[in-house]
């Protein structure tokens, strides 16, 4: 007899985007019967440093979520997470802390439905692959992969196992971005042709520890020159521009400025003799990437993470009938003739086009985390796991956002030459209809 979860999985893969080339999931490993069963969703957390602990805190505010296992290379971090779970009134989770590969033992547990991965970037793809092979839903932090080969491995593993892999790109779930998505779908901006987006955030002290020594992330600044963090910029843009559901990235061109900001910030804080300030950082301060889509639309992505500045994302989406500008918190709609050439405040549009995920703001777990966005994201991830459906951001969307990292690097290294973006969907971007955040 075919188990119910197997049927559902087959159905959503057929209706969705994946081709099931190989094994269907072992039903038990997938958390059988969760859709109709009051049994809780059981999640293993791997990497409980800064971000992983924040995500764990949100999960613990949700009813019907258990955390039977936590894993971190650092035993102190793992025990802190264990205590956090126990303090929430849940059973204390088992700790996996015996070296870099100990996550494999966690993946082999039979009682987990999903894993949340919040480890350094180089571990994301290997851990996600291991989880999918073990039949566990994957919620992986950004970026989900850092090479083109890793992107392909994630896609192929999700296709052959039938297990969803969702990159936890929180800005896809931001309240204003979802309202803009509804305005686009209502045709307010006409046909979309262009978008601008950025991750402008001074992260120098995320790349370095309290003593100003490079952390794991700082190592990437030494070795690579790329848009190393493209997914926060692109999160909402994917659905705004129907990427992987009617259009896809075709060509990528990137340019990097010289690298001065890291050295200058380290010198100002630690003095001229601070050894890490003298290291030869490859990473340019500002990386500007242009993407042309197959449909002929264009996207400008800016990475600006090494210079002192306030945070912003500079989202702007423009079509034949108007545009939205996040920095101005304003829209311009051509048909409002009396207001021609004037920006209108965005707030009334936000109220009118508010997305259902946010309407009951009181139901958002962890409202402190990025204004509640992380709570909406995790709540919807858990909902997919419980219902045994495809995740809202699937493996194709996850790798499409992440692949800008290695493709921008290739383009910069080749003197800003155009680089082709692989079609990870194998042509399925054409018949696939927009599905992210569609309200019935
Ligand atoms: N979406 C967001 O808004 C957001 C914000 C911050 C960070 N992040 C992402 O979260 C991830 C983690 O960032 P962070 O700032 O928390 O880093 P961190 O260094 O504070 O935490 C990483 C943790 O992973 C552990 N770890 C390393 N290798 C491991 C292994 N092999 N097995 C188990 N544990 C291992 C480390 O001991 C550490 O505790 C990164 O991918 C980052 O890009 C996302």
pLDDT in tens, 56-65: 999 999 999 9
- 38 pLDDT band, cuts 50/70/90, is low
Distance 203 CA to ligand 1 centre (A): 14
Instruction: Judge whether residue 28 has pLDDT over 90.
Output: no
* For range 107-124, the mean pLDDT: 98
CA of 301 to the centre of ligand 1 (A): 24
Ligand 1, atom 29, lies closest to the CA of 73
pLDDT tens profile 140-185: 999 999 999 999 999 999 999 999 999 999 999 999 999 999 999 9
The predicted-structure confidence for 66-107, as pLDDT tens digits, reads as follows 999 999 999 999 999 999 999 999 999 999 999 999 999 999
Beta bridge partners of 358: none
User: Which residues face 300 on adjacent strands?
Assistant: 196, 290
pTM of the model: 0.93
pLDDT per residue over 305-317, tens digit each?
Answer: 999 999 999 999 9
- Ligand 1: atom nearest CA of 124 is 41
Residues in the ligand 1 pocket, defined by CB under 6 Å: 46-52, 71-74, 77, 100, 103, 118-121, 123, 141-142, 168, 170
Q: What are the backbone angles phi and psi of residue 69, rounded to the nearest 5°?
A: -150, 140
Q: Of 370, 425, 382, 11, whose CA–CA distance to 173 is shortest?
A: 370
Alpha-carbon distance of 212 to 245, in angstroms, equals 44
> What's the CA-to-centroid distance between 46 and ligand 1, angstroms?
9
Q: Which domains does the chain have, with CATH numbers?
A: 4-169 (3.40.50.720), 172-355+395-420 (3.30.360.10)
Atom number of ligand 1 nearest to Cα 119: 24
Tell me how far the alpha carbon of residue 227 lies from the centroid of ligand 1, in angstroms: 19
Task: Report how far residue 253's alpha carbon sits from residue 233's, in angstroms, rounded to the nearest whole number.
Answer: 16
Separation of CA 48 and ligand 1 centre (Å): 7
The confidence band for 33, taking pLDDT boundaries of 50, 70 and 90, is: very low
394: tokens are 């699937």
Confidence of residue 49 (pLDDT cuts 50, 70, 90): very high
């Amino acid at each position: 007899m075919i188990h119910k979860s197997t049927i559902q999985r087959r159905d959503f893969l057929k209706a969705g985007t994946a081709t099931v080339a190989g094994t269907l999931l072992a039903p038990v490993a997938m958390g059988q019967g969760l859709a109709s069963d009051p049994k809780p969703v059981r999640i293993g957390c791997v990497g409980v440093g800064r971000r992983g602990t924040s995500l764990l805190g949100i999960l613990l505010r949700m009813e019907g979520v258990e955390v039977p296992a936590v894993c971190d290379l650092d035993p102190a971090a793992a025990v802190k997470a264990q205590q956090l779970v126990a303090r929430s009134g849940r059973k204390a989770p088992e700790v996996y802390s015996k070296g870099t590969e100990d996550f494999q033992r966690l993946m082999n547990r039979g009682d987990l439905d999903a894993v949340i991965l919040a480890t350094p970037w180089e571990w994301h793809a290997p851990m996600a692959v291991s989880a999918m092979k073990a039949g566990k839903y994957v919620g992986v932090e950004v970026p989900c992969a850092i090479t083109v080969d890793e992107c392909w491995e994630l896609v192929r593993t999700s296709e052959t196992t039938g297990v969803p892999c969702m990159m936890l790109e929180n800005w896809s779930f931001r309240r204003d971005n979802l309202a803009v998505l509804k305005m686009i779908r209502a045709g307010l901006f006409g046909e979309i042709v262009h978008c601008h987006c950025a991750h402008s955030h001074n992260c120098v002290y995320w790349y370095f520890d309290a003593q100003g020594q490079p952390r794991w992330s700082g190592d990437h600044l030494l070795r690579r020159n790329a848009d190393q963090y493209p997914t926060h910029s692109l999160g909402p843009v994917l659905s705004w521009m129907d990427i992987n559901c009617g259009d896809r990235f075709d060509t990528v061109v990137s340019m990097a400025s010289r690298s001065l900001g890291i050295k200058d910030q380290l010198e100002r804080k630690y003095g001229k003799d601070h050894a890490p300030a003298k290291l030869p950082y490859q990473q340019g301060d500002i990386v500007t990437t242009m993407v042309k889509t197959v449909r002929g639309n264009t996207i400008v992505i800016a990475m600006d993470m090494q210079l002192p500045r306030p945070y912003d994302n500079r989202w702007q989406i423009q079509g034949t009938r108007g545009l939205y500008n996040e920095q101005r918190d304003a829209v311009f709609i051509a048909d409002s003739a009396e207001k021609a050439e004037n920006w209108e405040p965005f707030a009334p549009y936000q109220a009118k086009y508010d997305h259902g995920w946010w309407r009951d703001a009181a139901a958002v777990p962890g409202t402190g985390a990025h204004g509640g966005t992380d709570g909406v994201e995790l709540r919807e991830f858990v909902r997919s796991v419980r219902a045994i459906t495809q995740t809202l951001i699937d493996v194709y969307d996850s790798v499409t956002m992440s692949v800008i990292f290695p493709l921008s690097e290739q383009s910069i290294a080749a003197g800003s030459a155009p680089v082709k973006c692989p079609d990870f969907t194998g042509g399925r971007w054409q018949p696939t209809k927009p599905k992210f955040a569609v309200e019935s």
